[in-house]
């Protein structure tokens, strides 16, 4: 596959804002999607953070494969990071975040205590590429609705300071920090979880990648979801379209609509829990 660059111009502005805030925060909370923990990171962000401590939050754990998530947690912890895995809708995210903050900040707090420095709230910069659930996390742990939440990339537009508890404050960043893809596959994985706009990659490229995955790895879910009878690539989309009733007047299947539905089903977990980035 050829390398594809999806790196909008506003990324540079977002990076400048982040670099300014890094000087005044104690650590960084980086949100990634548990289905694609590598693809939803940003190499430019890692470079900017440098030696600053990092808490990596893997979101949407209910949509990822548990065994693969366990592997990723171990891998990230081996790299020296604290890791938190959450389902924002079900977990007590605020409690879990404060507990992890205590771990991340323990060394600094002990050092400050020895020096006689009065304790102050820990301040964390919370970052993440679009649509990994960063705004949902903020709203869950803040006492008020602090961030706009929509199921499309790039809703958060400005820096905000959010008080979580007496011990923790968050600095939110614009939700415009797009991934810088190191390979076409990583970009496709982001499209499959909804972290980039549909215009980022041709839908045919994305859905054909997923089609091949299901034909090789999980035909059963295709039978269950779409009543698929055969597994020939030529009849793959027509079968889904017929099952959903996407038929034009002349009897042809509406292929564009079918592809969009197939992609939406994947993104929303209708075809089961899938981890696209595998170790």
Q: What pLDDT is attached to residue 179?
A: 65
Residue 159 pLDDT grade (very low, low, confident, very high; cuts 50, 70, 90) = low
Residues forming beta bridges with residue 31, ordered by sequence position? 57, 128
pTM across the whole model: 0.88
Average pLDDT over every residue of 213-223: 97
Q: Residue 86 CA to chain centroid, in angstroms? A: 12
pLDDT digits (tens, 9 = 90+) for 240-262: 999 999 999 888 999 999 999 99
Q: How far apart are the first and last CA of the chain?
A: 20
Among candidates 103, 106, 48, which has minimal Cα distance to 77? 103
> In whole angstroms, what is the distance from residue 243 CA to residue 132 CA?
31
User: What are the φ/ψ torsions at residue 9 (nearest 5 degrees)?
Assistant: -60, -30
pLDDT, position 155: 39
Q: Of 58, 68, 69, which is closest to residue 33 (Cα–Cα)? A: 58
CB 200 within 8 A of CB 39: no
CA-based nearest residue to 226, from 247, 241, 212 = 241
Tens digits of residue pLDDT in 147-157: 444 444 443 44
Residue 204 has pLDDT above 80, yes or no: yes
Q: How confident is the model at residue 162 (pLDDT cuts 50, 70, 90)?
A: confident
3-class DSSP assignment, residue 165: strand
- The arithmetic mean of pLDDT across residues 174-180, rounded, is 62
Res 201: pLDDT: 79
């Amino acid at each position: 596959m050829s390398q594809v660059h999806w790196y909008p111009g506003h990324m540079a502005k977002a990076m400048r804002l982040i670099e300014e805030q890094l000087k005044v925060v104690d650590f960084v909370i980086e949100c990634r999607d548990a289905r694609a923990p590598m693809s939803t990171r940003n190499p430019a962000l890692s470079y900017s953070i440098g030696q600053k401590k990092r808490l990596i939050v893997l979101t949407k754990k209910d949509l990822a494969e548990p065994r693969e998530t366990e592997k990723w947690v171990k891998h990230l912890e081996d790299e020296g990071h604290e890791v938190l895995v959450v389902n924002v809708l079900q977990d007590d995210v605020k409690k879990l975040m404060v507990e992890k903050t205590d771990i991340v900040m323990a060394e600094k707090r002990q050092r400050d205590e020895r020096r006689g420095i009065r304790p102050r709230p820990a301040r964390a910069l919370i970052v993440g590429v679009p649509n990994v659930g960063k705004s949902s996390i903020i709203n869950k742990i803040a006492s008020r609705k602090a961030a706009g939440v929509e199921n499309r990339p790039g809703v958060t537009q400005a820096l905000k300071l959010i008080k979580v508890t007496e011990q923790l404050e968050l600095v939110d960043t614009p939700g415009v920090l797009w991934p810088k893809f190191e390979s076409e596959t990583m970009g496709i994985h982001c499209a499959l979880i909804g972290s980039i706009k549909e215009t980022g990659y041709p839908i045919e490229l994305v859905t054909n990648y997923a089609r091949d995955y299901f034909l090789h790895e999980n035909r059963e879910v295709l039978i269950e979801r779409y009543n698929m009878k055969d597994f020939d690539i030529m009849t793959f989309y027509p079968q889904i379209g017929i099952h959903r009733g996407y038929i034009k007047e002349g009897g042809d299947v509406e292929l564009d609509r079918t592809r969009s539905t197939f992609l939406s089903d994947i993104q929303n977990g209708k075809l089961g829990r899938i981890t696209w980035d595998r170790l």
